[in-house]
Amino acid sequence: MSASFGEHTRTAASFVVDFLCKNFYLHEGFVQNALLVGVLISLCASLLGVTLVLKRFSLIGDGLSHVAFGAMAIAGVLHFTHDMYFILPATILCAILMLRAGQNTAIMGDAAVAILSVASLAIGYLLVNLFSSSTNLTGDVCTTLFGSTSILTLKPFDVYLSIGLSLFVIAIFVLFYNKIFACTFDEDFARATGTPVTIYNFFIAAVIAVIIVLAMKLVGALLISALIIFPALSAMRVFRSFLAVTICAAVLSVLCSLSGMLISIVAGTPVGSTIVCCDLAAFILFTICGLVQRRFRVNLPAAATACLAVVLLASGCSCSKSEPAKPAATTTETDGRKIDLDLTQESATMAWTHAYYMDQNPDDYAGLRVRIAGRFGYVKNPENNQDIAACIVTDSTACCQMHFEFVPGASAIPSEGTKIVLTGDLTSVTRGATKVCHLENASFTLAQ
């Protein structure tokens, strides 16, 4: 019987793994990196989010996200290879300045935060417009502000740094939990017991700044405060103790981030806004549970958490059925030729992500026969300023775009902006100092 039980267990586990890989692309390395980093970042945000809400520092969290955008703009203008080395210290310094300014009676705390945050946002956008050398300025700004698919396009350095800093934040919270608790609820009592409250407040602000910088890759600068505040507020609808609220907020944040990323992957929606919408759904659910709990005097915390998990899982599973699974090397053309990578069978999010990696590392995909959906257009050859036909692919927010060059051949040339499906053998050509993707033996059809 034990052998039979073990066999059934392995079969069930294999079924679950196959289901996840087939419907949520978990066999892709960049999806695994995104989920790992997303879970760690959301966990960090929820742990400090409870303190931020109770200390009424929510506005500081929102202001720091604007500061981080300004720092990122400056780092981009200065062409830093690893912009995190500049963004992190700058955001931490501004976090301390915001807290310090909030204690200044000459300028009220909320006014000081508003001045610094709005000024940073305006200066950052101005610098990007004046000095950026990017060919897709709108896309860069949109990705920074709203996240788009940036969590799926993390570089190895960003992955390692995010994991390291996330583990550091979690360790700090665990080690200094009692001090953070004391400073959160009663600063006067903490001072009386010899706790340096001012130093700990600055310390909390600095850690929040680290979380803000990390979360920019996940949900974007404008949506970061929701990632920090929503789980804490949701947990407070049902739970009362600090520890229970913190644990519930952490579980909620991880569940919402996972669900949001998985839904985005299969449904083609922007990652950041999808995660925030999951957080909003959790807040509404827990608010209802809290009202029922107070009205009928019943204990609903466990039921609320279970209900949330079921709702989010059902959303992800139903969404996974709305998009066909990636056929990879099974798709064939009418002449029997195999298509190695068919992006038309993927969601907008996954198609864009694959196109991004092909554009960044064309040599890794050289020789593959691919099929891509996009819009017909022309790009300029920087060497002779001539127009080159291209299939232009955009992300789920229609902010970022990239192109795949091809020679139309004898086919009728469509008008610019026409939706096409392009098939060809991927190779790369050098334009100036940059390698770009080019499809040989290409053919296209008008999209339905």
What does 302-336 look like in DSSP terms, one character per residue?
HHHHHHHHHHHHHHHHHHHHTSPPP-GGG-B-TTS
Band the pLDDT of 397: cuts 50, 70, 90: low
Encode pLDDT of 239-289 as tens digits: 888 888 888 899 889 988 888 888 888 888 888 888 888 899 889 988 888
CA distances from 335 to 80, 339, 344, 408 (A): 49, 11, 18, 19
How high is the pLDDT of residue 220? 75
Query: Can you read off the two tokens belonging to residue 391?
Result: 């299939």
Asked if 377 and 401 touch (Cβ cutoff 8 Å), the reply is no
Rounded Cα distance, 250 and 235, in Å? 9
Query: For 29-38, what is each residue's pLDDT tens digit?
Result: 888 888 888 8
Neighbours of 317 (CB within 10 A): 14
**pLDDT value at position 9?**
56
- Confidence grade of residue 105 (pLDDT, cut at 50, 70, 90): very low
Q: Is 411 helix (H, G, I), strand (E, B) or coil?
A: coil
pLDDT in tens, 193-231: 888 888 888 888 888 888 888 887 777 777 787 888 899
- Which pLDDT band, with edges at 50, 70 and 90, does 428 fall under? confident
pLDDT for 192: 85
For domain 2-321, the question of CATH label 4.10.320 is answered with no
Strands 387-394 and 369-380: what pairing? antiparallel
Q: What proportion of the chain, given as a percentage, has pLDDT over 70?
A: 78
For residues 79-96, give the mean pLDDT: 83
Is residue 317 scored above 60 in pLDDT? no
How confident is residue 307, by pLDDT bands cut at 50, 70 and 90?
A: low
Lowest-confidence segment of 223-237, 331-345, 358-372 by average pLDDT: 331-345
Whole-angstrom distance, CA of residue 134 vs CA of residue 148: 17
Domain 328-446, CATH class in plain words: mainly beta
pLDDT at 1 over 70: no
Among the listed residues 389, 364, 346, 374, the one whose alpha carbon sits nearest the alpha carbon of residue 446:
374
Is 320 a residue whose pLDDT tops 50? no
Is 50 exceeded by the pLDDT of residue 299?
Answer: yes
Per the DSSP assignment, residues forming a β-bridge with 443 are 423
CA distances from 274 to 35, 162, 166 (A): 14, 21, 22
Residue 370's contacts (CB-CB under 8 Å, 6 or more residues apart) are 339, 340, 341, 342, 343, 358, 423, 424, 425, 426, 439
Q: What is the pLDDT of residue 134?
A: 60
137 or 425, which is more confident:
425
Stronger pLDDT, 371 or 140, i.e. the higher one: 371
Mean pLDDT of 38-67: 83
Cα–Cα separations (whole angstroms), residue 273 to 66, 147, 220, 295, 396: 17, 8, 9, 33, 11
At 123 the pLDDT is: 86
Q: Would the pLDDT of 140 be above 70?
A: no
How many residues would you count in the chain? 448
Sorted by where each begins, the domain ranges of the chain are 2-321, 328-446
Exposure string for 369-395, b = 16+ CB within 10 A, e = fewer: bbbbbbbbbebeeeeeeeebbbbbbbb
Q: Distances from the Cα of 316 to the Cαs of 43, 278, 320, 343, 436, in angstroms?
A: 20, 11, 6, 21, 35
Per-residue model confidence (pLDDT) at position 380? 82
Label residue 88 by pLDDT band (50, 70, 90).
confident
Question: Which DSSP symbol is given to 80?
Answer: -
**Burial readout 401-410 (b: 16 or more C-beta within 10 A, e: otherwise):** bbbbbbeeee
* Banded pLDDT at 148 (limits 50, 70, 90): low
Mean per-residue pLDDT over the chain, rounded: 78
How far, CA to CA in Å, does 124 sit from each of 76, 157, 437?
10, 24, 32
